[in-house]
Amino acid sequence: MAVLVPAVTAAQASAAPVRPAAVVVTYDTSRAGEFVAAVHAGAEVWNDSVSNVRLEPVAPGRTAHVRVIADDGWPRALTTSLGRGTVWMGRQAVHQGYDTTRIAAHELGHILGLPDLKPGPCSSLMSGSTAGVACTNPYPDARERAAVEADFGGLTTPGRTGGPALAGLR
């Protein structure tokens, strides 16, 4: 029995765009308490929305780029450089009725280099709490996606400070 395999011409091979591998940003949820599922969901939102960066749980025994911690305060993020930092999943916002997946995606957006955009509509992930408790949209809008794509395009590892793509969002 013969198996036919289509031949690829040199012209077809050179016409196919070569995509650089996405920058992998690892996160550690070992201190995220009841927010572990929300953090994974928020990371998946970003993975579905952009292609130049991927958020993945850290492998056992490895050091993560991002630590996620549950606490009783307001949610916040401390970014030490692009793709690195700490996210606090604050219970105060959850007790007020804010959606945990939106909170996680928003705070991870800071780690990916995005500033708050307040006030803002529900369609803007980085509008954060100004969209109100009824807003459960965890997805970045086109401008937010484009800024993350631009900042991570061409990088091979996280760690560079925010670049010019952020200027248009401030």
What does the pLDDT look like over 52-87, one tens digit per residue? Answer: 999 999 999 999 999 999 999 999 999 999 999 999
Alpha-carbon distance 58 to 83, whole Å?
13
**Tokens encoding 19:** 């995509």
Q: Which of 34, 56, 107, 144 is catalytic?
A: 107
What does the pLDDT look like over 79-136, one tens digit per residue? Answer: 999 999 999 999 999 999 999 999 999 999 999 999 999 899 999 999 999 999 999 9
Global pTM value? 0.83
Report cis status (omega within 30 of 0) of the bond before 138: no
Alpha-carbon distance 15 to 63, whole Å?
39
Catalytic-residue membership of 44: no
3-state secondary structure of 139: coil
3-state secondary structure of 157: coil
User: Which residues, in sequence order, are CB contacts of 43 under 8 Å at separation 6+?
Assistant: 27, 55, 56, 57, 104, 108
